[in-house]
């Protein structure tokens, strides 16, 4: 064996690389490495047992017995000490009580750092989920129609959470009980919190969360909460609201969003994802009246700090009422955001923009690195949480309507206007004519990732080589192209393999 493979730092890097292998290969690889030599055994076993998707591997090592108490063998204890993350999911069944050695301690996984409790897994015995090192907990109570099941799970979680003193990251999904609401309101040490619990999240609980002094990241579904009620609840307290909040992802209605923004401190918020809910009119005038004041307030609070902004609007579009009125976000609605000069990423799911608007946006946000104005149907959308995704039908209809305003000229405008842009998604039809060399001298964008609209002509035909050549003449540094017409993406791969000929 090469001496370098005995150097701990080198060995750790190699083993970490093995963890990036696909599917089940890492577990098989670590198992083989653990058998190679004594030097490799511990680091390989550490990684093999670090994450457990269930208890079957450990339970299989217990002596077979009909007794409800099983004695943990030294091997079981050795492997259990290596576990850092465990998942108790739907398939969870009652586990035996383990008779552990005094040296091992009372907890099955004494070095556990994070645990995921899903449905029946919420009822896991304390000894199987406790650890003095536990800092991250994910809970999915579900929205079962069997009230007693949800109540039992919620009660178990309500008993468990206060016993985790080092808890700083919590994810809650499913229906919460009143008791769990009260427990959540008391977890003032949290730094990151996700609450997707439907209308079971209470107004008082949200108001309490707003006062958590160390909370940096908040993801919450709160569109059911009345803005005036929350405002009155805030008025009854004298604590600072959201003093450390840097990242917020929220499904909300416009009035509630305005209330929350009014209470955040200035110059702290760095990332904001908005999923606007409600049943108000979706015509342009109503949209402007509802959202423009909100954006003015956002600019007032985060003009110098906000780097990332995502806007998605679920507002119901009543075709009979609105007729042919535009329902997307026009430039005038967005105009207050011109003050947010440090914006790096802007994602707008329902745009109603024209080609010329891109030049204005480039002046607003001179350091923009990512611009996403609606991902075309058939292309991969950026990853988001489940609660932040609009249903597919709504998204497709909105993009189809909103993107009708832009033409293939939009790509050239982007290329000469956004100096620092690295990622672009436009629903405008893809260009098919190569840009003259003299015009390319005006292009400044060093784009890497590109998503374009359909490339087919009125007859449905796609001239993929022409489209790829046109796109590469506009964005010569691009490394990936996504298009609803698969021929374009395939042709781009061929062009890359052939040196972009």
3-state secondary structure labels for all residues of 98-125: EECCCCCCCCCCCCCCEEEEEHHHHHCC
Q: Strands 114-118, 217-221: parallel, antiparallel or unpaired by DSSP?
A: unpaired
**Token digits of residue 227:** 């803005």
Please report how many Cα atoms fall inside a 13 Å half-sphere around the Cα of residue 164, on the Cβ side.
Answer: 31
Opening angle at CA 186, ends 183 and 192, nearest 5:
95
Q: Which residues pair with 402 in a beta bridge?
A: none
pLDDT at 401: 44
Using CA atoms, how far apart are residues 32 and 397, in angstroms rounded to an integer?
Answer: 52
From 260, 352, 282, 347, select the one nearest 312 (Cα to Cα): 347
- Whether the predicted pLDDT of 457 surpasses 90: no
Confidence class for position 492, pLDDT limits 50, 70, 90: very high
Name which of 276, 279, 306 is nearest 291 in CA terms.
276
> 320-324, 415-419, 488-492: which range is least confident on average?
320-324
- pLDDT at position 291 is 93
Dist CA 197 CA 180 (whole Å): 11
Residue with tokens 């209308």: 199
Mean pLDDT, range 94-114, rounded to an integer: 89
Task: Round to whole Å and give the CA distance between 377 and 482.
Answer: 11
Question: pTM, whole model, 2 decimals?
Answer: 0.86
For residue 320, how far is the Cα from the chain centroid? Answer: 35
Give the closest residue to 48 by CA, choosing from 64, 66, 28, 68.
28
The answer to whether 122 and 157 are in contact (CB under 8 A) is yes
Calculate mean pLDDT across residues 5-33. 59
Does pLDDT of 384 surpass 50?
no
Write out pLDDT tens, residues 174-225.
999 999 999 999 999 999 999 999 999 999 999 999 999 999 999 999 999 9
What integer pLDDT is reported at residue 398 of this predicted model? 44
- Computed on alpha carbons and rounded to an integer, the radius of gyration of the chain in Å comes to 27
Q: What is the pLDDT of residue 32?
A: 57
Separation between Cα atoms, residue 176 and residue 188, nearest integer Å: 18
So what's the pLDDT on residue 169? Answer: 98
Q: Which residue segments constitute the domains of the chain, with CATH numbers given? A: 1-50 (no CATH), 266-402 (3.80.10), 407-501 (no CATH)
144-168 pLDDT, tens digit each:
777 777 889 999 999 999 999 999 9
Q: What is the pLDDT of residue 385?
A: 43
Q: What is the dihedral of CA 256, 260, 261, 263, to 10 degrees?
A: 140
DSSP labels for 52-63? ESSSHHHHTTSP
Which residue would you say has higher pLDDT here, 374 or 270? 270
Return d(Cα 10, Cα 4) in angstroms, integer.
7
Give percent of the chain with pLDDT exceeding 90: 61
Terminal-residue alpha carbon distance, the chain: 46
Reading phi first (left if > 0) and then psi (alpha if -120 to 50, else beta), residue 267 is in left
DSSP class of residue 350 equals S
- Residue 348's pLDDT is what? 95
Q: For 268-317, how does the pLDDT look when each residue is reduced to its tens digit (9 = 90+)?
A: 999 999 999 866 666 778 888 899 999 999 999 999 999 999 999 887 45
In this model, does residue 99 exceed pLDDT 50? yes
Q: What is the mean pLDDT of residues 124-133?
A: 94
| Beta carbons of 183 and 159 less than 8 angstroms apart | no
CA distance 132 to 138: 17
The answer, yes or no, to whether residue 42 has pLDDT greater than 70, is: no
Q: Is 193 exposed, middle or buried (0-12, 13-18, 19+ CB in 10 A)?
A: buried
Q: Is the dihedral of CA 122, 128, 134, 136 positive or negative?
A: negative
pLDDT confidence bin for 238, thresholds 50/70/90: confident
Instruction: Write the pLDDT tens digit of every residue in 388-444.
Output: 444 444 444 444 444 458 999 999 999 999 999 999 999 899 999 999 999 999 999
Pairing of strands 308-313, 345-348: parallel
For residue 59, what pLDDT band results from cuts at 50, 70 and 90? Answer: confident
Spell out the residues 6+ positions from residue 111 whose beta carbon is closer than 8 angstroms to its own. Answer: 81, 82, 83, 84, 131, 133
**Alpha helix positions (H), 210-329:** 227-235, 254-263, 284-302, 319-322
Question: Average pLDDT for residues 486-498, to the nearest whole number?
Answer: 87
Q: What is the C-alpha to C-alpha distance for residues 424 and 414, in angstroms, rounded to an integer?
A: 9
Residues paired with residue 140 on neighbouring β-strands, in sequence order: 118, 173
Residue 103 burial (CB < 10 Å; 0-12/13-18/19+)?
exposed
State phi, psi for 380 to the nearest 5 degrees.
-75, 130
The mean pLDDT of the chain is: 85
Identify the residue with better confidence: 349 or 459.
349
pLDDT of residue 85: 96
CB 154 within 8 A of CB 141: yes
Query: Which H or E run includes 97?
Result: strand 97-99
Extract the tokens encoding 486.
Answer: 């698969």
What pLDDT was estimated at residue 374?
Answer: 81
> Residue 12 above 60 pLDDT?
yes
């Amino acid at each position: 064996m090469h001496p370098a493979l005995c150097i701990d730092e080198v060995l750790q890097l190699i083993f970490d690389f093995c963890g990036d292998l696909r599917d089940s290969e890492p577990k098989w690889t670590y198992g083989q490495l653990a058998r190679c030599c004594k030097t490799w055994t511990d680091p390989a076993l550490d990684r093999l047992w670090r994450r457990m998707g269930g208890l079957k591997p450990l339970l299989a090592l217990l002596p077979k017995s009909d007794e409800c108490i099983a004695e943990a063998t030294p091997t079981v204890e050795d492997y259990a000490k290596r576990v850092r993350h465990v998942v108790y999911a739907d398939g969870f069944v009652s586990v035996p009580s383990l008779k552990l050695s005094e040296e091992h301690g009372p907890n099955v996984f004494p070095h556990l750092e994070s645990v995921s409790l899903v449905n029946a897994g919420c009822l896991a015995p304390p000894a199987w989920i406790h650890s003095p090192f536990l800092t991250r907990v994910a809970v999915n109570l579900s929205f079962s129609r069997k009230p007693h099941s949800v109540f039992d799970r919620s009660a178990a979680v309500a008993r468990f959470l206060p016993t985790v003193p080092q808890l700083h990251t919590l994810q809650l999904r499913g229906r919460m009980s009143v008791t769990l609401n009260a427990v959540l309101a008391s977890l003032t040490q949290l730094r990151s919190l996700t609450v997707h619990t439907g209308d079971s999240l209470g107004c008082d609980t949200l108001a309490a969360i707003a006062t958590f002094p160390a909370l940096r990241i908040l993801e919450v579904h709160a569109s059911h909460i009345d803005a005036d009620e929350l405002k009155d609840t805030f008025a009854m307290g004298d604590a600072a609201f959201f003093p450390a909040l840097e990242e917020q992802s929220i499904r909300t209605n416009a009035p509630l969003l305005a209330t929350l923004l009014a209470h955040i401190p200035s110059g702290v918020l760095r990332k904001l994802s908005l999923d606007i809910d409600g049943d108000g009119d979706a015509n342009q005038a109503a949209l402007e009246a509802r959202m423009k004041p909100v954006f003015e307030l956002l600019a007032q609070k985060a003009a110098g700090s906000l780097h990332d902004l995502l806007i998605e609007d679920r507002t119901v579009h009543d075709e009979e009422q609105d007729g042919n009125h535009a329902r997307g976000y026009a430039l005038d609605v967005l105009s207050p955001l011109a003050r947010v000069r440090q914006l790096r990423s802007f994602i707008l799911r329902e745009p109603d923009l024209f080609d010329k608007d891109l030049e204005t946006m480039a002046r607003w946000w001179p350091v923009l690195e990512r611009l996403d104005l609606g991902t075309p149907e058939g292309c991969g959308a950026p990853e988001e949480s489940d609660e932040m995704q609009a249903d597919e039908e709504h998204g497709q209809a909105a993009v189809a309507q909103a993107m009708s305003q832009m033409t293939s000229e939009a790509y050239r405008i982007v290329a000469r206007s956004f100096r620092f842009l690295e990622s672009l998604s436009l629903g405008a039809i893809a260009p098919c004519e190569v840009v003259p060399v003299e015009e390319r001298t005006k292009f400044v964008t060093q784009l890497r990732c590109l998503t374009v609209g359909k490339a087919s002509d009125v007859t449905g035909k796609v001239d993929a080589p022409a489209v790829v050549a046109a796109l590469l003449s506009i964005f010569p540094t691009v490394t990936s192209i996504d298009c609803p017409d698969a021929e374009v993406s395939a042709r781009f791969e061929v062009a890359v393999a052939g040196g972009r000929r």
